[in-house]
Amino acid sequence: MERTLSIIKPDGVGRNLIGDVIKRLEQNGLKVAAMKMIWMTKAQAQGFYAVHEGKPFFDGLTDFMCSGPIVVMVVQGENVIEQYRKLMGDTNFEDAEEGTIRREFATSTRKNVVHGSDSTESAALEIGYFFNRFEIVG
Ligand code: CMP
């Protein structure tokens, strides 16, 4: 059993896509083990995306991520990191496979509706960024 961090980004929350994203997780056998809605500060967004610091999209990305509420979730299941990334589709929605969340709902590379951890190491770091162990109940 593996865990990953999932974020429904401000565009997803603003466009009422919370239910659509969670439905896809659940329909694919994944479980929500923790969940909350928060509104990040710029500093919190910069901390979360620290690995991207210095990249040309960093400032726009962190501005966007604190532009409205987000839903952060710990998602659990077998091989969940890879499975969830498959459900999300490619970062660039135009390259994302048909039927994926980003293909269906994203409107740009920045406004791509969801985030998911890309490795076990980043999942552990990212889950720890938002949740303490008493909040992960699933
Ligand atoms: P995410 O999975 O949250 O991880 C980093 C985010 O940076 C990514 O999704 C995109 O939203 C954003 N991103 C990556 N590359 C670009 C880019 N070239 N232009 C704008 N945003 C980007």
Looking at beta carbons, which pairs linking 65-68 to residues 24 or more positions away fall under 8 Å? 65/9, 65/10, 65/40, 66/39, 66/40, 66/41, 66/42, 67/10, 68/10, 68/13, 68/14, 68/39
Q: What is the rounded average pLDDT for all residues in the chain?
A: 97
How far apart are the CA of 44 and the centre of ligand 1, in A?
Answer: 16
User: Looking at residue 87, what is its pLDDT?
Assistant: 98
Confidence of residue 83 (pLDDT cuts 50, 70, 90): very high
Give the catalytic positions in this structure. Answer: 115
Rounded-to-integer distance, Cα 51 and Cα 73, Å: 20
Q: Cβ(117) to ligand 1 under 6 A?
A: no
Q: Which of 112, 118, 125 to mutate to test the pocket of ligand 1 (most atoms within 8 A of CB)?
A: 112
Confidence of residue 138 (pLDDT cuts 50, 70, 90): confident
Taking residues 69-98, what's their average pLDDT?
97
Rounded-to-integer distance, Cα 102 and Cα 138, Å: 26
Q: Residue 100 CA to chain centroid, in angstroms?
A: 14
Q: Cβ(91) to ligand 1 under 6 A?
A: yes
Q: What is the pLDDT of residues 13-68, one digit of tens each?
A: 999 999 999 999 999 999 999 999 999 999 999 999 999 999 999 999 999 999 99
Q: What are phi and psi of 106, to 5 degrees?
A: -70, 150
Q: Cβ(6) to ligand 1 under 6 A?
A: no
Q: Hey, is 114 helix, strand or coil?
A: strand
Q: Which residues contact 97 (CB under 8 A, 6 or more apart)?
A: 89, 90, 103
How far apart are the CA of 134 and the centre of ligand 1, in A?
Answer: 30
% of residues, the chain, pLDDT over 70: 100
Q: Cβ(102) to ligand 1 under 6 A?
A: no
Confidence of residue 78 (pLDDT cuts 50, 70, 90): very high
